[in-house]
């Protein structure tokens, strides 16, 4: 067992890993531009299914649509899971939804903190309005592989966030006042992910668990599309393929596959 604050090392992570596939091949960087980019390069070079790339800090950590993921050293988790596109693994929308669910489950297991997913793949603490972002997931697909990048704010102090993020972001430490061993949390997220990606388990069970953990359902939401167009409605359910089903005020039911969601009420 390592202690909170200890650097992440190959040995300390390996000691705590309980997975069969995910993380059996591990690459640990002190600093990298982006673990998603590094994992994509490894995928092209034939890295095994289940490879995990971890970094203490990222110089160009990225969110969706080329946004920045703030990645200070030594306090958080930044990692990417590389999965080959093999027929026994579920399709891409599930992979990215389940990344957020794995973080929710692992966080509660290790710290007792109850977080929720905001569709599609933010992890938030929603006891206040607006909710605070604890983790983000960025799934990117290449021809041969899917890379699921996960950033979790673990032991980050409020003043480590840039001022514009302070009102909208949080960490496990900020919520519970207790530091968490990052190696243990990483090992647990990978274990939860492996359970969810295991096709011996019915996918529908994972989707039901996702719906239960989803803070978006039942809320009035505003969706902004890549085009800048916006829509408002009530989030009614998540379809079996991961789409958000939105009820408009005129009664129409729309299936949304991508967009930025704001919980209005």
Work out the number of other CB atoms within 10 angstroms of the CB of residue 230.
Answer: 12
* 102 touches 193 (CB < 8 A): yes
Asked if 69 touches ligand BT5 (CB under 6 A), the answer is yes
Which residues ranging from 79 to 98 are in contact with ligand BT5 (CB under 6 A)? 79-80
- Residue with smaller CB distance to ligand BT5, 141 or 203: 141
Asked if 195 touches ligand BT5 (CB under 6 A), the answer is no
- Residue with smaller CB distance to ligand BT5, 59 or 208: 59
Query: Token digits for 75?
Result: 């306090």
**Cis amide bond preceding 120, omega within 30:** yes
- Residue with smaller CB distance to ligand BT5, 56 or 194: 56
Residue sitting closest to ligand BT5 (CB): 136
Asked if 119 touches ligand BT5 (CB under 6 A), the answer is no
Residue 33 CA to residue 58 CA, distance in Å, equals 5
CA 85 to chain CA mean position, Å: 19
Asked if 165 touches ligand BT5 (CB under 6 A), the answer is yes
Asked if 263 touches ligand BT5 (CB under 6 A), the answer is no
Q: Please list, in sequence order, all residues whose beta carbon lies within 8 angstroms of the beta carbon of residue 128, skipping any fewer than 6 positions away.
A: none
Query: Token digits for 198?
Result: 């295991």
Residue given tokens 């996960």 in the structure block:
150
Query: Token digits for 193?
Result: 């992910």
Q: C-beta of 121: minimal distance to ligand BT5 in Å?
A: 7
Asked if 58 touches ligand BT5 (CB under 6 A), the answer is yes
Q: C-beta of 173: minimal distance to ligand BT5 in Å?
A: 13
Work out the number of other CB atoms within 10 angstroms of the CB of residue 125.
Answer: 21
The stretch near ligand BT5 (CB under 6 A) out of 28-36, 180-188, 206-214, 236-244 is 28-36
Q: Between 203-213 and 92-111, two packed helices, what is the crossing angle to 10 degrees? A: 60
- The size of the interface with ligand BT5 (CB under 6 A), counted in residues, is 27
Interface positions with ligand BT5 (CB under 6 A): 34-36, 58, 61-65, 67-70, 78-80, 122, 133, 136-138, 149-151, 153, 165, 169
């Amino acid at each position: 067992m390592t202690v909170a604050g200890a650097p992440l090392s190959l040995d300390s992570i390996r000691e705590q890993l309980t997975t069969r596939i995910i993380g059996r091949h591990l690459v640990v960087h002190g600093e990298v531009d982006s673990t998603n980019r590094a994992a994509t390069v490894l995928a092209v070079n034939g890295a095994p299914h289940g490879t995990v790339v971890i970094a203490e800090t990222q110089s160009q950590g990225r969110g969706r649509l080329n946004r920045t993921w703030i990645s200070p050293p030594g306090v958080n988790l930044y990692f990417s899971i590389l999965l080959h596109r093999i027929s026994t693994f579920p399709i891409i929308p599930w992979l990215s939804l389940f990344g957020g669910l794995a973080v929710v489950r692992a966080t509660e297991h290790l710290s007792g903190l109850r977080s929720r997913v905001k569709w599609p793949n933010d992890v938030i603490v929603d006891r206040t309005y607006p909710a605070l972002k604890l983790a983000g997931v960025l799934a990117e697909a290449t021809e041969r592989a899917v890379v699921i990048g996960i950033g979790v704010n673990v032991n980050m102090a409020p003043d480590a966030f840039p001022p514009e993020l302070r009102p909208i972001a949080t960490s496990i430490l900020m919520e519970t006042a207790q530091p968490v061993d990052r190696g243990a949390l990483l090992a647990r997220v990978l274990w939860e992910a492996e359970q969810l990606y295991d096709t011996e388990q019915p996918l529908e069970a994972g989707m039901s668990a996702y719906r239960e953990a989803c803070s978006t359902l039942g809320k009035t939401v505003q969706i902004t599309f890549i085009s800048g167009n916006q829509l408002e409605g009530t989030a009614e359910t998540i379809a079996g393929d991961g789409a958000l089903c939105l009820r408009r005020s005129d009664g129409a039911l729309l299936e949304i596959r991508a967009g930025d969601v704001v919980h209005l009420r």
